[in-house]
Amino acid sequence: MAGVQVANVSRSFGAHKALDNVSIDFADGGFYALLGPSGSGKTTLLRQIAGFDFPDSGRIAIGGESVERVPVEKRRIGMVFQNYALFPNMSVADNVAFGLSVRGEAKATIATEVQRALDLVQLGKLGGRKPHQLSGGQRQRVALARAIVTKPRVLLLDEPLGALDKALRVDMQIELKRIQREIGITTIFVTHDQEEALTMSDRIGILRDGRLVQEGPPEEIYDRPQSEFAATFLGDANIFRGDATGSGIKLPDGTTIAASTGASVPAGAKASCAVRPERIRISTGATKPDPAGANMLTGQVSKRIFAGNNSTYFVDRDGQTLKVIVQNTGAERLAEGQPVVLSWSPGSTVLIAAA
Amino acid sequence: MADQLAIGSRRGLKPALPLLLPAYLWLTVAIFLPLSAMVFFSFMTDLPLAGKEWTFTLGNYAAFFSQSLYSTLLLSSLRLGLEVTLWCVVIGYPAAYVLAKVLKGRSREAIFLLVILPFWSNGLVRIFSWAMVLREGGILDTALNAVLPFKINIDLMYSYPAVIIGLVHSYVPYMVLTCYLTLQAIDDSLIEAGRSLGASRRQVLWRVIIPLSMPGLIAGAALIFVPVVGSFMEPRILGGRTGTFYGTVIEDQFVAVFNWPLGAALSFILLAVVLIILALAAPVLRRAG
Ligand SMILES: Nc1ncnc2c1ncn2[C@@H]1O[C@H](COP(=O)(O)OP(=O)(O)OP(=O)(O)O)[C@@H](O)[C@H]1O
Ligand SMILES: [Mg+2]
């Protein structure tokens, strides 16, 4: 096992910068999610680490050893492709055996290792099948078994669950996480799905236009996003823009919003505040007052979406539509068109310096 | 649902019949009838032309077995077929690989055109242009002597190598096309997966790419081997005196000696031998692929 260090890596295709000075430290044994919109450079970064493609500048090290001049087959990595890339002419067992067999391991060793890997992904009985005789989830497991049977130093996964339906996806997330813990392998996982990134990983890196926007544990990124992009890309957020006051911001209409987390922005500079929809309390204003110092706004419900365990209210306020998520506690539901009071604590408000 | 599907497929066949009819008619007229006539001829003592007497006989087939000349020629034709096929693999497969996996866009189209160009030129023109290249004092001879400091004498014309060169040139596009099609269908991620599992480029080639392109190699080999074994034009023009093969003997029966029955019998023996070879090779090749 080994950690991976990516330092100041850039890669351009023609005039397009697919990776722009990206530096990330992937800790040994950690589960790292790379998240970002389409075209943000996630696959490109993974391909640099794997060695399918080489950076224009910057350094990549695996286990402390610089790998810029090391070809793919010598890097001892395991890779799971989005389309699984199983060899269609080989049986499941032969697919899994491939990496050991090209290394010239003894037949008996290969057989036991393959069986162990297939058991690990719970496909012990399907070794004789051909890939086209498997379901999507089973193929996914074979691809995983094939990637880990060689005991790679790093496991790279490029949207491995992208082609699965929701239920199977959740199953595979749990499975993947279990296997990763069991063998303790450094794992870098590319995904489109923010929920997947939040639930599975120890750390998340958010990429945008080839740049690393923010990086850290899921809680930290969710609770203290450093940019509007990070706030809205990972989870939902209400964004207010105005001028910094030193303890929050002042909106163009004069309303002040207090914020006690996030960046410190000098008074007078442009800044914004992000508030998660589930942190906002919504009421008709008739009930008990909020604690002193709470942020408070009034508005009008424009729409309500019922989703079983919660409801999302869209509240219009001064040309802006705010989103509020309320748990379904059995309390009375608010009607569309009703005037409401929104309140939330400064501690739930993240101050963000303007880009 | 299942009922509907069943009805659908039963209804599907009837409307298709009028569409299939022209194809079957064509097959009957163009292949089945002439072939039956040839089978008929092959059992006759003489052509039923100009009121000549004829009876049924097995003598034409017996001739093949009584004269060792025919089987010797058949063997050398089979060897010719094998050699030409091998050269086509050696030249055509790498070309197809480069076309399918290395070149992209415009340059691929351009090279592709060059590969299939021989298809569009007349066979005789092709062969005679090789004759001009290969003969003593010809283009190859002159060019080499212009470049090399010492005098060499290249006279490949009327030799076995000339026959091979001409045939390989005529048939290599088949190999390129069939291999190109199968290679192009191999997803690049399979190659990357192989590399990521520790296989070198060469190991990926032998264990992943070649097995997956086996159908193309087999199809190409069959398309080349069969006509080359029976070929007569290239051996005759480029081979001269050395160019006597099974195919040229058959041709002689039809155009020079006018012994059509013997020619037909020899053709059917060739057909039988080729079919037996293909049948024997099929399981072996399928296992390899
Ligand atoms: N081989 C290449 N040639 C030219 N441009 C490329 C190449 N590979 C990637 N790019 C460009 O680099 C950018 C980043 O691509 P990349 O595949 O890394 O995105 P991604 O984040 O993986 O997106 P997705 O989520 O859609 O898979 C894109 O704009 C893409 O068009
Ligand atoms: Mg991608």
pLDDT tens-place string over residues A242-275? 999 988 999 998 889 999 888 888 888 999 999 9
Would the CB atoms of A85 and B289 count as touching at under 8 Å?
Answer: no
In a domain, B53, yes or no: no
In a domain, A80, yes or no: yes
In a domain, B30, yes or no: no
In a domain, A280, yes or no: yes
Please indicate, yes or no, whether residues A100 and A175 belong to a single structural domain of this protein. Answer: yes
Domain count, chain A: 2
What is the pLDDT at residue B8?
44
Would the CB atoms of B289 and A146 count as touching at under 8 Å?
Answer: no
What is the pLDDT at residue B133?
83
In a domain, B60, yes or no: no
Q: Average the pLDDT over B142-166 and give the result.
A: 84
Confidence class of residue B12 from pLDDT cuts 50, 70 and 90?
low
Q: Which ligand is nearest to the CA of A12?
A: 1
Q: In chain B, whose CA is at the least distance from the CA of A147?
A: B197
Would the CB atoms of A79 and B196 count as touching at under 8 Å?
Answer: yes
Please indicate, yes or no, whether residues A203 and A286 belong to a single structural domain of this protein. Answer: no
Please indicate, yes or no, whether residues A191 and A265 belong to a single structural domain of this protein. Answer: no
Best residue among A44, A56, A79 to mutate for probing ligand 1, ranked by most atoms within 8 Å of CB = A44
Which tokens in the block code for residue B108? 């691929």
Would the CB atoms of A72 and B187 count as touching at under 8 Å?
Answer: no
Please indicate, yes or no, whether residues A149 and A263 belong to a single structural domain of this protein. Answer: no
Please indicate, yes or no, whether residues A192 and A250 belong to a single structural domain of this protein. Answer: no
What is the pLDDT at residue B13?
66
CATH number at residue B112: 1.10.3720.10
In a domain, B183, yes or no: yes
Please indicate, yes or no, whether residues A108 and A154 belong to a single structural domain of this protein. Answer: yes
Q: Locate all alpha helices (DSSP H) within chain B, ordered by sequence.
A: 2-27, 33-42, 59-66, 68-97, 105-120, 123-134, 139-147, 160-184, 188-196, 201-204, 210-229, 233-239, 246-255, 260-288
Nearest CA among A276, A267, A253, A265 for reference residue A354 = A265
Final residue in a domain of this structure, among A194, A223, A252: A223
Q: Which ligand is nearest to the CA of A158?
A: 2
Please indicate, yes or no, whether residues A105 and A163 belong to a single structural domain of this protein. Answer: yes
- How far the first Cα of chain A sits from its last, in Å, is 38
Residues above pLDDT 70, as percent of chain A: 98
Q: Average the pLDDT over A110-134 and give the result.
A: 93
Instruction: Give the one of A52, A83, A146 whose C-beta lies nearest to B197's C-beta.
Output: A146
Domain count, chain B: 1
ipTM: 0.83
The pLDDT tens digits for A203-250 are 999 999 999 999 999 999 999 999 999 999 998 999 999 999 988 999
In a domain, A231, yes or no: no
Please indicate, yes or no, whether residues A205 and A289 belong to a single structural domain of this protein. Answer: no
The range of the structural domain enclosing residue B73 comes to: 67-288
Ligand 1 pocket: which residues have CB below 6 Å?
Answer: A 13, 16, 18, 36, 38-44, 192
Angle at B44 (CA atoms; ends B43, B48), nearest 5 degrees: 145
Would the CB atoms of A150 and B192 count as touching at under 8 Å?
Answer: no
Confidence class of residue A122 from pLDDT cuts 50, 70 and 90?
confident
Confidence class of residue A95 from pLDDT cuts 50, 70 and 90?
very high
CATH number at residue A289: 2.40.50.100
Confidence class of residue B20 from pLDDT cuts 50, 70 and 90?
confident
In a domain, A229, yes or no: no
Measured CA to CA, the distance from residue B155 to residue A280 in angstroms comes to 94
CATH number at residue A50: 3.40.50.300
CA A158 to ligand 2 centroid distance, Å:
7
Higher pLDDT, A44 or A287: A44
Q: Average the pLDDT over B110-128 and give the result.
A: 82
Higher pLDDT, B2 or B43: B43
Q: Which ligand is nearest to the CA of A22?
A: 1
Confidence class of residue B4 from pLDDT cuts 50, 70 and 90?
very low
Collapsed DSSP state (helix, strand, coil) of residue B250: helix
Phi, psi (deg, nearest 5) at residue A186: -60, 125
Angle at A57 (CA atoms; ends A56, A58), nearest 5 degrees: 140
Least confident range of A48-52, A235-239, A327-331, B220-224: A327-331
Please indicate, yes or no, whether residues A105 and A23 belong to a single structural domain of this protein. Answer: yes
The range of the structural domain enclosing residue A206 comes to: 4-223
In a domain, A228, yes or no: no
Instruction: Give the one of A83, A98, A102 whose C-beta lies nearest to B189's C-beta.
Output: A83
Q: Which residues of B touch A72 (CB under 8 A)?
A: 192, 195-196
State the average pLDDT for chain A: 91
Q: In chain A, whose CA is at the least distance from the CA of B205?
A: A102
DSSP annotation of B149: S
Best residue among A16, A79, A208 to mutate for probing ligand 1, ranked by most atoms within 8 Å of CB = A16
Please indicate, yes or no, whether residues A207 and A58 belong to a single structural domain of this protein. Answer: yes
Residue B9: pLDDT above 70?
no
What is the pLDDT at residue B5?
43
The pLDDT tens digits for B52-99 are 788 888 989 999 999 999 999 999 999 999 999 999 999 999 999 999
Please indicate, yes or no, whether residues A85 and A155 belong to a single structural domain of this protein. Answer: yes
